Chains A and B, each alone.
Chain A
Amino acid sequence: MTTAAATVSTRKRARESSWTIIARFFRDKPLGAAGAAVFFGMIIIALIGPWITPYDPLSTDVMHRLQGPSWAHLMGTDEVGRDVVSRVILGARVSAIVGIGATLVGTTVGAVIGVISGYVGGKVDMGIQRIMDMIMAFPGLVLAIAIMAVLGPSIINVILAISIPSMPRANRVIRSIAVSVKEFPYIEAARAVGCRPWRIILRHVIPNTLASYLIVATSMLGAAILIEASLSFLGLGIPPPHPSWGRSLSEAMQYMYKAPWLSIFPGLAISMIVFAVNMFGDALRDVWDPRLKRL
C-alpha cells in the first residue's frame, strides 16, 4: 500500500514536473513557444485538412479563374479556378509529411551511425567520418536534385532525397556525444561486468544522446521543409495534382502580372512555418543544451 502510494506520488510529481517544464518554456521563451504553437497548428491542419477546406482543392472552375482575394475566396483563385485557401491548407500536408519524414529518417540514420562511429572508434570511426565529409562536399539541394533524377518523383523518393544530404549534421553532433559518454565511469563499469557492446550502446549511450537528437531534429526540420518546397518549385517534388506550396509558387510565376496574389500566399505559408520551426528549434536548444549554440 505504502509502495503503491509512493509510486503514484512519484508519477504525479513526474507529471507535474513535465508540466512545469512546459510552463517554464512558455514563460522563458515566448517566441519559441509561439513557434511551437504554429508548428503544431500546421500538423493539426495537415491532419484534418481535407475536412476543413472551404472548397475542393482539386476541382476546377474555369468561370472563376484568376480571381483576386474576396470573401468567397479569401486568397483568390488560380489559373483553373481552384480555391487558393483550400490548396494552401492541403499543401500543409505535403510539407508536414515530407518535412517530418525526411527529418526523422535523416536524423535517425545519421544519429545511429554517429553512435556506432563514436562508440566503436578507431578505423570504423575514421571511415564513417570521411564518408560524412564526402556527403558534405555536395550542396544539399544539388545532391537532392541528383537523387531525384535517379529515383523519379514520388513522396518516398523526395523524403529519401532530402534525408541523405541531412545525415552528416546529426551524425557529427551525436558522434561527439557518444565519444564523451564512452569515457564515463559507469560505461567502464558496464564493460567490466561483461555487458556486450550493443547492450551498452542501447541501454547507456543512446539514452544520453536523446536530448541532442531532438534538438538536432528540430533544427533540421526547417531546412527539410525548405528543400521540399525548393524541389517542388523546380518541378522535382511530389507529382501533381496533389497541391504543394513550392509547386503552387512555380505555377504562379506564369501569372505574375495578372494574378500577383498567387505568388504571395504559398510563399507566406512556407516562410511562416520555417520561421516558426526555426524559433522553436532555437528555443529548445537554448533550454536543453546551450553548448550546441553554434550548431
Chain B
Amino acid sequence: MGGYIIRRLLWAIPTLWGAVTLLFLLMRVLPGDVAMVMLGSEGAAIDPVQLNALREELGLNIPLWEQYAVWILDFSHLDLGKSLWTGNTVWSEVAIRAPYTFTLLVMAMVLSVFIAIPTGIFSALKQDSWLDYGLRSFAIAGLSIPNFWFGLLLLLLTVSVFRWSPPIEYATIVAAPLVAMQQLTLPAIALGWRQSAVSARMMRSSMLEVMREDYVRTARSKGLRERTVIIIHALRNAILPVITIFGTEVLLLLSGAVIIETIFNIPGIGRLLIDGINHRDVNLVQGLVAFITIIVILVNLLVDLVYGWVDPRIRYE
C-alpha cells in the first residue's frame, strides 16, 4: 500500500502542473483581451492610456513566456495572486469563504451517501417492487432537474409553507457548528440530491450484478445469514463503482456549489467566484479556479487511495 500511495502522490504533481498551465493558457491565449473586458468595452472607445496602465498592472505587457514563468513560479510557492477588487491575497479571501463551502460540500456528500447506499441496496434486493420503481423515477428526476431549479423550488416551498427564508448571515462551522449545520441543511439537500440519485442508481445496478455472482451463492449455501452475505460479501464489491464515480461527482458538486451558494446567498467560494467576475477581477477568478483545481486533484487522489484500500487488486496494476 505504501508504494501505491507514493506512486499516486507523485502522479498528482504533473497533473496539477498541467492543469495550472492549461488554466494560464485559457486565460491568456483565448481570443479575448482581459483588459478590454475589464474596462467593460464592447467596441466603444477606450482610453489607450488607461488600457495600457491596466495591462501593466495585470502583467500583460511582458512576453507570454515571462508571464507564464511568473505564474508558475508563484504557484509553486502556493501564491495564487492578489485580488484587484478587495486588495487581499486570494488565499486570505479563500480562508474566509472556504469553511462555508466545505461544510456545504461535506453535508451534501454525507446526505447523498446516507440516502444513496441504503436505497440502492434495498432497491436491488427488492427488484421490480414499488420501492424499486420509486427509486428509478427519483434517479431520472435527479438527473434531469437542474439543481438551481430544484433549489429555487425548495426555497419556494419553505418560504410559502414554513415561512422560512435563508438567513442573512451564515454561521461558520468553527464558531457555531450546530447553527451552521442547521442553516446549511436545505442548501445541502438541494446540492446533494442529484449525486444521491446518480449514486443510488449505480449502487442498485452493481448490487444486482454482484448478488448473482457464484461466491454470493456459495456464501448463502454455507448457511450464512442473509445480512452477513449482503454486508460482508456482496457490499464490498458492489460499492467499487460507486466510489469510482464519486471522484467525478465531486466535480459536479463543486460546479453545483457555485449556483446553490448564489441562490441561498451563502458567502462561500462559489459566490466569491461570481462576485469576482461581476467586479471584473480576473486575478481573483484565476486564483480561485486554480484553488478549486487543487481541491479536485486532492479529492481524486483520496478516491484513488480509498479505491486501492477497498480493492487490493488496484494497487498492483
A residues neighboring B (CB under 8 Å): 130-131, 133-135, 137-143, 145-152, 157, 160, 164, 222, 226, 229-230, 233-236, 246, 249, 252-253, 256-257, 260, 263-264, 267, 270-271, 274-275, 278
**Cα separation A239 to B158 with both chains bound (whole Å):** 31
Give the dominant DSSP class at A's interface. Answer: helix
Q: Which residues of A contact B300 (CB under 8 A)?
A: 137
Given that A142-B258, A278-B143 are contacting pairs, would A133 and B155 also be in contact in the complex, using a CB cutoff of 8 Å? no
- List B13-34 residues whose CB lies under 8 Å from chain A: 14-16, 18-19, 21-23, 26-27, 30-32, 34
**Cα separation A287 to B27 with both chains bound (whole Å):** 41
B110 at the interface (CB under 8 A from A): no
Q: Which residues of B contact A257 (CB under 8 A)?
A: 159-160
Q: Indicate if the CB atoms of A271 and B149 lie closer than 8 Å.
A: yes
* Per-residue contact bits, chain B 142-171, to A (CB 8 Å; 1 contact, 0 not): 011110110011011001100000000000
- List B243-300 residues whose CB lies under 8 Å from chain A: 251-252, 254-256, 258-259, 262-263, 273-274, 276-278, 282, 285-286, 289, 292-293, 296-297, 300
Q: Which residues of A contact B30 (CB under 8 A)?
A: 147, 150-151, 160
What's the minimum C-beta distance from B210 to chain A, rounded to whole angstroms? 16
Give the dominant DSSP class at B's interface. Answer: helix
B residues neighboring A (CB under 8 Å): 14-16, 18-19, 21-23, 26-27, 30-32, 34, 36-37, 42, 140, 143-146, 148-149, 152-153, 155-156, 159-160, 251-252, 254-256, 258-259, 262-263, 273-274, 276-278, 282, 285-286, 289, 292-293, 296-297, 300
Q: Which residues of A contact B273 (CB under 8 A)?
A: 142, 145
Q: Which residues of A contact B285 (CB under 8 A)?
A: 145-146, 149
**Cα separation A280 to B297 with both chains bound (whole Å):** 33
**Cα separation A267 to B151 with both chains bound (whole Å):** 11
Q: Which residues of B contact A233 (CB under 8 A)?
A: 148, 259, 262
Given that A147-B30, A275-B144 are contacting pairs, would A135 and B22 also be in contact in the complex, using a CB cutoff of 8 Å? yes
Q: Indicate if the CB atoms of A253 and B296 lie closer than 8 Å.
A: no
What's the minimum C-beta distance from A260 to chain B, rounded to whole angstroms? 5
Q: Which residues of A contact B277 (CB under 8 A)?
A: 145, 148-149, 236
Q: Indicate if the CB atoms of B296 and A146 lie closer than 8 Å.
A: no
Q: Which residues of B contact A253 (CB under 8 A)?
A: 152, 263
Q: Indicate if the CB atoms of B144 and A143 lie closer than 8 Å.
A: no
Q: Indicate if the CB atoms of A270 and B146 lie closer than 8 Å.
A: yes
* With A149-B276, A150-B27, A278-B144 already in contact, 17 other A-B pairs whose C-beta atoms are closer than 8 Å: A134-B22, A137-B296, A138-B19, A139-B251, A139-B254, A139-B255, A139-B292, A143-B289, A145-B258, A145-B289, A146-B26, A146-B285, A150-B37, A151-B37, A230-B255, A260-B160, A263-B149
